[in-house]
Structure 1
Amino acid sequence: MDRFDAMQAFARVVEAGSFTKAAQTLHMSKTTVTQLVQQLEARLRVKLLNRTTRQVKVTADGAVYYERVVRLLADLEDADTSLSSAAASPKGRLRVDVPSPLARLLLMPALPAFHARYPEIQLHMGVSDRVVDLIGDNVDGVLRGGEVTDPSLVVRHVGDLQMGVYAAPSYLERAGWPQHPKELEDTHHRTVGFMGPRSGKVAPISMRLEDEHIEVQGTYVVAVDDGNAYLAAGVAGMGVLWLPHYMAEAHAVRGELVPLFAGWHADPMPMYVAFPPNRHVSAKLRAFIDWVVALMAQHAPVVAPLNRTAQCISTCRMVAASSDATNLAT
């Protein structure tokens, strides 16, 4: 038994949920795939899969083994790629996690161009606003907004989302048009709360007018932890929103949202790509990061690199001595 072939066959069966489909993607016969998995189970003396005439399900032991196998196969693939001419044409599976609104409005529309340039990269893209355990979830990298406070991660600042304050016409008709941000703390005004993924707390709105800097907490009747739901609540008239311009633009054009507080500027939201310092920066991860950097340069260019860098150094572990980290940071 070739252990590499057996592990690859097992992983593909788990992902496809079928020996037949796994065999097709591996360009093997169903009999060969079945034999490889059986030989692997015999060697390990553990049942990895439960088979019926209708479906294949991974066992508890099989699920644990699968996560280790996937990581091992990815590391082997990266090692081969980094030492061959294939480095010029990245390939293989890449697991990333990105915010849901950014995926829907910016990344997905641009994805055909990424695929055309890197046709052999298979993206497994988690789309959420949750906090991801990069090691535990076996994720190669994440794209996130806000300052990165995990000191165990290597980060690259890739852009700054310009923010604004908006409300639906239905809300303004009901509550009145506020002239100053502090009016949002009046009893008759409401905001839509956005809960931090770690703390569950609702962050205040931070705004500036020349030398004046204020933070407004506001009062909310609904708070959510997903960007798309946050936007939908605001469009429905549930309260005032603090939004990146790219999320609000189409709704403002259609008259579904109205910008508030002319002359005031909301603090921009920094965007970062992060990955574990002990994770090899493969050619495919580097390609993804370069693509994200180019997109952010179009839609959310960095506005204050020196200030952001100082903030990042104070909160993040920058592994500048590593060639991978150095290349990503330039």
Structure 2
Amino acid sequence: MDQIQAMRIFARVVEAGTFTRAADSLQVPKASVTKNVQALEERLRVKLLNRTTRRVTVTADGAAYYDRAVRLLADFDDLEASVSQARTTPRGRLRVDVGTSVARLLIIPHLAEFQSRYPEIQMDLGVSDRTVDLISDSVDCVIRGGELADQSLVARRIGNLDFITVAAPQYLERHGIPRHPRDLETGHRNVIYFSPVSARRYPLEFHKDGEVIEIAGPAHLCVNESNAYIFSLLAGQGIGQASRFQINEHLKTGQLQQVLEDWKHPLLPVYVVYPPNSHLSAKVRAFVDWVVDLFARNPLLQGQSSL
């Protein structure tokens, strides 16, 4: 038995929650995963996992072994990296997940720059506004906006999104220009964003001189994907709130027009996030550093608080 390999496989099973998902993420047969875990248990003479037909759970001994194993594996990877100089030449497959607007407007247009700098990194780029489980989905890091619900994750703030209230000129011609947020409660159509995971609706939010107003309804249209949300506003569906980063070109061309300019919206922080138990490998560190620089170069992603 290759003890290091067996430790890696055991750790992946704990993180993935099933032998099948662990095998898929490691790209090895499920039988090989099972055999390695059984051999590890026989070597240690303890039961590491409780198995059911649908899921595996870690035993008390298994949890203690896992905590030590992931630290040892991280040290082992550090040792190999220092010898092979992998830090100067990051390599391997990198799984990244980003929101749809950030992917379309920032990551993909500049991706050739990253690939040219790190030609030995192969990237799997997941694009979705849905929240992913970094551990069970075997994702190395994600870029997401908003405060983090899972405080166990490691997060680095890399930017801010400045939201403004806008509508298409054709909509304003039909319905008029609102002078106060309360005008949106009657006589106007509002476009609201809702979470693709929890279905929570996010109201239009307005701040001015210590006063806070939230307009949750009536909502003419609710959308759960950021690009579709912008296209809905461009199509004249109603009044909504979007970041300057998302709609800057549409503002320049006059396809969207800002309204209620005296009323501000809180900045939305943007983070690059990775699991705490995953070693920040050379390839992940290279991507994180590149993304930090990429965000810093775009003034629309470094908004200052306007409240």
Sort the TM-score into its range (normalised by shorter chain): 0.7 to 0.9
For structure 2, the 5+ residue unaligned runs are 5-18, 34-72
Q: How does 1:213-232 map to 2 (within 5 A)?
A: 213-232=212-231
Determine if contact 1:220/1:239 at 8 Å carries over to the other structure. no
Q: SS in structure 1 opposite 2:171? A: helix
Q: What displacement does 1:92 show?
A: 1.0
| 2:259 matched residue in structure 1 | 260
| 2:70 matched residue in structure 1 | none
Per the alignment, do residues 254 and 78 of structure 1 end up closer, same or farther by CA in structure 2, a change over 3 Å counting?
A: farther
What is the rounded CA distance, in whole Å, between the counterparts of 1:84 and 1:216 in structure 2?
57
Per the alignment, do residues 137 and 82 of structure 1 end up closer, same or farther by CA in structure 2, a change over 3 Å counting?
A: farther
Q: What displacement does 1:241 show?
A: 1.7
RMSD: 2.9
What is the rounded CA distance, in whole Å, between the counterparts of 2:304 and 2:121 in structure 1?
31
| 2:23 matched residue in structure 1 | 65
Q: What displacement does 1:205 show?
A: 2.1
| 1:119 matched residue in structure 2 | 119
Q: SS in structure 2 opposite 1:88? A: coil
| 2:175 matched residue in structure 1 | 175
Deviations 1:53-107 (Å, cap 9, x if unpaired)? xxxxxxxx8775232347x9xx899553354312112111110100001110111
| 1:197 matched residue in structure 2 | 196
> Could you tell me which amino acid in structure 1 is paired with residue 107 of structure 2?
L
Per the alignment, do residues 159 and 63 of structure 1 end up closer, same or farther by CA in structure 2, a change over 3 Å counting?
A: closer
In the superposition, the TM-score normalised over structure 2's length comes to 0.73
What is the rounded CA distance, in whole Å, between the counterparts of 2:240 and 2:208 in structure 1?
18
What is the rounded CA distance, in whole Å, between the counterparts of 1:154 and 1:302 in structure 2?
23
Deviations 1:101-152 (Å, cap 9, x if unpaired)? 1110111111122122112111111001001011111001110001001122
Q: What displacement does 1:183 show?
A: 1.4
What is the rounded CA distance, in whole Å, between the counterparts of 1:251 and 1:123 in structure 2?
31
> Could you tell me which amino acid in structure 1 is paired with residue 158 of structure 2?
V
% identical aligned pairs: 43
Q: How does 1:34-113 map to 2 (within 5 A)?
A: 65-69=23-27, 80-81=80-81, 83-113=83-113
Per the alignment, do residues 192 and 86 of structure 1 end up closer, same or farther by CA in structure 2, a change over 3 Å counting?
A: same
> Could you tell me which amino acid in structure 1 is paired with residue 302 of structure 2?
P
| 1:12 matched residue in structure 2 | none
What is the rounded CA distance, in whole Å, between the counterparts of 1:87 and 1:102 in structure 2?
27
Determine if contact 1:82/1:282 at 8 Å carries over to the other structure. no
> Could you tell me which amino acid in structure 1 is paired with residue 296 of structure 2?
A
Does 2:245 correspond to 1:287? no
For structure 1, the 5+ residue unaligned runs are 5-60, 305-330
Q: SS in structure 2 opposite 1:189? A: coil
Q: SS in structure 2 opposite 1:261? A: coil
Q: SS in structure 2 opposite 1:266? A: coil
What is the rounded CA distance, in whole Å, between the counterparts of 1:289 and 1:142 in structure 2?
10
Deviations 1:2-58 (Å, cap 9, x if unpaired)? 9x9xxxxxxxxxxxxxxxxxxxxxxxxxxxxxxxxxxxxxxxxxxxxxxxxxxxxxx
Q: SS in structure 2 opposite 1:285? A: helix
In the superposition, the TM-score normalised over structure 1's length comes to 0.68
Q: What displacement does 1:255 show?
A: 1.8
| 1:242 matched residue in structure 2 | 241
| 1:211 matched residue in structure 2 | 210
